[in-house]
Amino acid sequence: MADATRFYIDGAWVAPTGSARADIVNPANRAVVGQVALGGPADAEAGIAAAKTAFPAWSATSREERLAYLEAINAALIARADEIGDAIMAEMGAPIGLARGAQAGSGPQHFAEVIQLLRDYAFETPLGSTLLQREAIGVCVLITPWNWPMNQIATKVAPALAAGCTMVLKPSEVAPLDAAILAEIIDSVGLPKGVFNLVHGAGPQIGNALTGHPDVDMVSFTGSTRAGIAISTNAAPTIKRVALELGGKSANIILPDADFAKAIPASVRGCMLNTGQSCNAPTRLLVPRDRLAEVEALASAAAAAIRVGLPADNPDIGPVANAAQHGRVVTLIDQACAQGTQLLCGGSTPPAGLEHGLFVAPTIFTDVAPDAIIAREEVFGPVLAIIPYDSVDQAIEIANDSPYGLSGYVWGADKGSARAVARRLRTGMVHLNGAGLDSAAPFGGYKMSGNGREWGRFGLEEFLEIKSIYGGA
């Protein structure tokens, strides 16, 4: 098992300055699988100082040098994919197939995309007589969540390295093991010291020291909207760039001409994937009111077919990732029931035989009012709200009536009509008829779902400044 009780700073493994630690708990059985050191301001200072010292030389490296390091890291991520997957299974409860597949596989996926992009990316382009130069923004603090841990790390570390930035990574203290493996890989490929630094810790103890530091040029954060607001406030006095990928309450509009037999089961499975712990999950299912009964039957059958179980048994969904989140999910389910919202299936009682872990059955509420708590709050668990609509215009209005704007989903037989609805959604992304994500396309949202973009060219350019050299073309 990877060691999260030490930090990687300035090219060496070092002990934290303090002695505080927290248990890493497997949510499937509540067993302690390791410990994570909880760093503080002195550890943040050391990591930032190392990154600052390393920046001039690293930012001056050639495209070819950076490509060589990225390719070496990617090869090692692929070679250690099962180990990374097993760490993710232990630390946040992802089923082994998902953990070794999409979870661990997302690291190489994003590194490979950045490698391909870097080979031909134009860091200098003419604009009339002016030469536009894109150059590394500087020292970056990267703060990542527990729900897709390697995915979020890779979408920040890979483009930051490609851009010529140096960095301090603080992964979630709830799921730090995969980040420790990445640091081992980076150490093994000989990346120059200080370019990549890893510290662990809880936000209140180390976060302010990282995000408010005057030597930090950029903060890239993925997590809750509440934490994103706090980070933005803390970073504001030093006018640093802050890129935020935050929460969501994504609407999934099933148009009247859609293939309901395909769209409804796929929508239920999409909501429940990763135990519903995805910021872009389609958690609001908007359906024609006159077909509500049909939708309920299809959704109930789809939920009943989802296997909940121990991650090592490779079920469809495993436990909720940690006790705090499990408590939130159960509380919101109970609040929705107390509010009178109709429970179609599931609920806050754990599935039979799984009471020892942090499990929640696939839960669906139906005939949900758009202003109901379960239709407004981001649950971040296996919970779906079915909301009926009377017209497509009303469906779009309901979809946009949210403080969030991360993703959207539209199903319809006529692609032109579905595309027209997609254009009216106030979200950063829209999936048509179950289309998957595209690692070359930008990932990010509107409104309280954040700002900036990750993935592909747009993700790389978050880590670049633009300089105008007048008369330089």
Give DSSP secondary structure letters for 235-267.
Answer: HGGGT-EEEEE-----EEEE-TTS-HHHHHHHH
Which positions ≥6 away from 48 have C-beta within 8 Å?
A: 139, 141, 168, 197, 210, 213, 215, 216
Which DSSP category does 352 fall into? Answer: T
The per-residue pLDDT for 79 is 98
Rounded to whole angstroms, how far apart are CA atoms 230 and 235?
A: 9
Rounded to whole angstroms, how far apart are CA atoms 278 and 147?
A: 7
State the average pLDDT over residues 64-93: 98
φ, ψ dihedrals at 35, nearest 5° = -130, 155
Q: What percent of the chain has pLDDT over 90?
A: 99
Rounded to whole angstroms, how far apart are CA atoms 120 and 466?
A: 18
Nearest to 276 by CA among 84, 93, 447, 89: 93
pLDDT tens sequence across 103-130: 999 999 999 999 999 999 999 999 999 9
* Contact status, residue 42 vs residue 57, Cβ threshold 8 Å: no
The per-residue pLDDT for 55 is 99
Among candidate residues 173, 245, 296, 461, the one labeled active-site is 245
Domain residue limits, the chain: 7-246+449-469, 251-437
φ, ψ dihedrals at 204, nearest 5° = -60, -30
Which positions ≥6 away from 195 have C-beta within 8 Å?
A: 51, 54, 58, 161, 166, 167
pLDDT > 80? residue 170: yes
* Contact status, residue 321 vs residue 275, Cβ threshold 8 Å: yes
pLDDT > 80? residue 1: no
State the average pLDDT over residues 6-21: 97
pLDDT tens sequence across 310-352: 999 999 999 999 999 999 999 999 999 999 999 999 999 999 9
Record: fold of 251-437: Aldehyde Dehydrogenase; Chain A, domain 2 (3.40.309)
In three-state secondary structure terms, 361 is coil
Residue 277 tokens, joined: 């712990």
The per-residue pLDDT for 264 is 98
Nearest to 388 by CA among 404, 376, 375, 403: 375
* Contact status, residue 386 vs residue 366, Cβ threshold 8 Å: yes
| Confidence grade of residue 447 (pLDDT, cut at 50, 70, 90) | very high
| Confidence grade of residue 204 (pLDDT, cut at 50, 70, 90) | confident
Q: Where are the alpha helices (DSSP H) in 273-386?
A: 292-305, 323-338, 373-376
* Contact status, residue 154 vs residue 223, Cβ threshold 8 Å: no
φ, ψ dihedrals at 249, nearest 5° = -145, 65
State the average pLDDT over residues 369-376: 98
Tell me the β-bridge partners of 443: 454
In three-state secondary structure terms, 411 is strand
Is 378 noted as a catalytic residue in this protein? no
| Confidence grade of residue 203 (pLDDT, cut at 50, 70, 90) | confident
CA contacts within 13 A on the Cβ side of 212: 13
Which positions ≥6 away from 47 have C-beta within 8 Å?
A: 7, 9, 168, 197, 198, 199, 210
φ, ψ dihedrals at 17, nearest 5° = -75, -25
User: Tokens 């407004």, residue?
Assistant: 376
pLDDT tens sequence across 79-102: 999 999 999 999 999 999 999 999
State the average pLDDT over residues 361-369: 98
In the predicted model, what is the mean pLDDT of the chain?
Answer: 98
Cβ density class 275-289: b for 16+ within 10 Å, e for less: bbbbbbbbbbbbbbe
State the average pLDDT over residues 195-202: 98
Which CATH number among 3.40.605.10, 3.90.470.10, 3.40.640.10, 3.40.50.300 corresponds to the domain 7-246+449-469? 3.40.605.10
